[in-house]
Structure 1
Amino acid sequence: MVDAATRQFAMVAGEPSGDLLAGLLLDGLRARWPAMRAAGIGGPQMLARGFESWWPQEKLAVRGYIEVLRHYAEIAGIRRQLKSRLLRDWADLFIGIDAPDFNLDLEAGLRGRGMKTVHFICPSIWAWRADRIEKIRAAADHVLCIFPFEPALLAEQGVSASYVGHPLANVIPMQPDRLAARAALDLDPAARVVALLPGSRRSEVRYLASRFFQAAALMHRLQPDIRFIAPIIPGLRAEIEEALKASGMAGKVRLLEGQSHAALAACDATLIASGTATLEAALFKRPMVIAYNMNRVSWHLMHRQQLQPWVGLPNILCNDFVVPELLQEAATPQALAAATLQWLAEPAKVEALQHRFTALHAELLRDTPTLCADAIEQVLEG
């Protein structure tokens, strides 16, 4: 085994979902190399494990072509500065966690100068932007894959990869304790609870929060006994409260700082933005309505490159529309409310969905921290 005192890792996680994945990765690295050090760009989960973040993670949490263009100069500047610092203060290995638009170019530049690189989470070349495979091949010595079908796809393109399971499958219990979650959130055990998750990025909240809260207002009008909870990112509270007030639901939706896992464990159904959170909801075995809305130009550009009929991860992984997706113009408050209420009215359908999500959970469950450390050790020694 390599001398633990010599291991220096550089990492970039560009958004909250990547921060969670990176936190588990750091657990595996720390178990393998107890004295290792890690620095770069990360969030609270990484910081709690001793990671040194040189820039706030929020600087990179931008999604959509138009939104990225608005922040391009700042993001490109951060990447240039980070690359220079890493080449000056050499790391044994760079690990890019998701955020492919930022990380792949950075990885390629570092790898071209002799630094070993790993990309954690295969970009969704099977869903859209298949052209990214060339970038991946140039950027990464190895790819850590979270879905079982990905290593074979990458191997066909000459990219070294391994399946490490999905880290969230380790974090979320196979049988979530709804009553304990409700007790922790001081919710009536018998109440019907809907969780509203309009996203973790400012751009998502801008396009979705008002629709979600208007949908909640419609549901509340029809069924006043429903309780609404909304886990939020602390830095987005002002935008959330503004949308809540405009919808007339201020005081009727309980805002939770963080606690998204508690909210998903406690709820009967969730109205949720497309993204990693939808997989979290599936692992909590919760019925959901997936929604997304973004800048029209960004949507048009992304939609043209879409390779599958599904956008939500639960549907992609189940290879079927197991939960509804309401995107762009279809994501009206009326449609969102109706689809969410339908789950509350059909317990047999919910039970069937829970069985399907349990099977999915079992397929994704692996010792991810250890498998990641095994793969990274092989790259270092290779």
Structure 2
Amino acid sequence: MVAGEASGDLLAGLLLGGLKQRFPGMSAFGIGGPKMAAQGFDAWWPHHKLSVFGFVDALRHYRELSGIRDQLGDRLLAERPDVFVGVDAPDFNFGLERRLKEGGIRTVHFVSPSIWAWRGGRIDKIARSTDHVLCLFPFEPELYQAKGIAATFVGHPLADTIPMEAPKAPARAALGLTADAPVLAVLPGSRRSEIQHIAPAFLQTVAVLARQRPDMQFVMPVVPGLRDMVEPMVREHCPDAPLQVLDGRSHEALAACDVTLIASGTATLEAALFKRPMVIAYRLGWMSWQLMRHMGYLPWVGLPNILARDFVVPERLQDAASPQQLAQDCLAWFDQPARMEAVQGRFAEMHNTLRRDTGRCASDAIAKVLESR
């Protein structure tokens, strides 16, 4: 298996739990993180090696990433695993999967890249690279089957693990928050480059909100290892705000909050599964933004809006993600309880659709791949 970034590690860890139930003697190895290691995964390289952000960052690290992929491919072709599962990280995994498939190793890709949103031409590369695609969303398999690619909707593992109702009171008590005061969770991303581009605007938003609503509390989960990068930003941008920086604990923060200010990505789906209204924002480096701004097919970038096919929550991208605008968007949720209740109903419907016992469905699909050898 290969998983990159915190989100891939989370998804792969949940998948490994289902696979271990079906194949108790299974061994798994490759590239992964702590969630996978907790399931007995042997990480030959840590998952953060693949955590690049945008075209420019990928080019900067191309030589190192290419070297890792070549070494990993050599070792896997020598080890001859029964199946290779690439978890997200498509720009890294598809090239590796193609080499392994051509070498006679069955390949499965878990998490369809968003070919329905941008870079649809990748579907031809997928056909050459993988024997089966495990899809998180119900509309995806039809896109692949039209191209003769085997694909299965397995639901989203987060929908299985996040409860339909996540009570606030225990989470607030665990985080030391006042039970009846408003709480905003601030999630600026899980990669260093995301923190660099997004966190300053988010922290400036916290400063604005703290002045306007002195009773508001703020929690900011940070991926372990990035606290040293975040704390100087906090001191610079919102030194007097009642902001609690957390080591991880993003699910506790989402359970505890009323609203979240959140970077576009998998975390927005987690927030939707917690039924929390949100403001989605994203910022890239100037060159990456110029390259990507005209490449999308859909009017939405946030997963909750894409799944709902509607702007159910605000999205603010690049220059539109100003602290003043983000603060206004956050306050709009707090000041409109009926709107909050309506979006929570939409998120409950979404949760039911995505809850499919992903571990079992995915292991069933992988078993069929193995039987076809």
The TM-score, its normalising length taken from structure 2, stands at 0.98
Q: Quick check: 2:207–2:241 contact (8 Å CA) kept in 1?
A: no
Moved more, 241-250 or 175-184: 241-250
* AA partner of residue 282 (structure 1): A
Q: 1:250 to 1:70 in 2, by over 3 A?
A: farther
Q: Quick check: 1:127–1:306 contact (8 Å CA) kept in 2?
A: yes
Q: C-alpha root-mean-square deviation of aligned residues, in Å?
A: 0.9
- Mapping of 1:37-116 within 5 angstroms? 37-116=27-106
* AA partner of residue 273 (structure 1): A
Instruction: Pick from 222, 227, 231 the counterpart of residue 237 of structure 1.
Output: 227
Q: 1:302 corresponds to which residue? A: 292
Q: 1:3 corresponds to which residue? A: none
Instruction: Pick from 323, 331, 340 the counterpart of residue 341 of structure 1.
Output: 331
1:108-154 Cα shifts (integer Å, max 9, x gaps):
01101110000001110001110100111011100000100111111
Q: 2:115 corresponds to which residue? A: 125
* AA partner of residue 105 (structure 1): G
- Mapping of 1:1-382 within 5 angstroms? 11-249=1-239, 252-382=242-372
For structure 1, list consecutive stretches of 5 or more residues without a partner in the other structure: 1-10
CA distance in 2 between counterparts of 1:367 and 1:241 reads 38
* AA partner of residue 51 (structure 1): F
Q: Secondary structure at the match of 1:297?
A: helix
The offset of 1:52, in angstroms, is 0.4
Give me the identity figure in percent: 57
CA distance in 1 between counterparts of 2:258 and 2:301 reads 22
Q: Quick check: 2:186–2:220 contact (8 Å CA) kept in 1?
A: yes
Q: Secondary structure at the match of 1:148?
A: coil
CA distance in 1 between counterparts of 2:19 and 2:259 reads 36
* AA partner of residue 16 (structure 2): L
Q: Quick check: 2:203–2:237 contact (8 Å CA) kept in 1?
A: yes
CA distance in 2 between counterparts of 1:248 and 1:261 reads 23
* AA partner of residue 337 (structure 1): A
The offset of 1:250, in angstroms, is 5.7
* AA partner of residue 205 (structure 1): I
Q: 1:25 to 1:244 in 2, by over 3 A?
A: same
The offset of 1:303, in angstroms, is 2.1
CA distance in 2 between counterparts of 1:265 and 1:313 reads 19
* AA partner of residue 374 (structure 1): D
1:72-125 Cα shifts (integer Å, max 9, x gaps):
111111111110111111111000000000001100011011100000011100
Q: 1:8 corresponds to which residue? A: none
The offset of 1:300, in angstroms, is 2.0
The offset of 1:251, in angstroms, is 6.2
CA distance in 2 between counterparts of 1:21 and 1:289 reads 23
* AA partner of residue 196 (structure 2): R
1:209-243 Cα shifts (integer Å, max 9, x gaps):
11000000000011111000000012111111111
Aligned pairs, how many?
A: 372
The offset of 1:252, in angstroms, is 2.5
CA distance in 2 between counterparts of 1:337 and 1:173 reads 29
Q: Secondary structure at the match of 2:134?
A: strand
CA distance in 2 between counterparts of 1:304 and 1:330 reads 16
For structure 2, list consecutive stretches of 5 or more residues without a partner in the other structure: none
Q: Quick check: 2:265–2:303 contact (8 Å CA) kept in 1?
A: yes
CA distance in 2 between counterparts of 1:184 and 1:238 reads 23
CA distance in 2 between counterparts of 1:306 and 1:347 reads 33
The offset of 1:322, in angstroms, is 0.4
The offset of 1:353, in angstroms, is 0.4
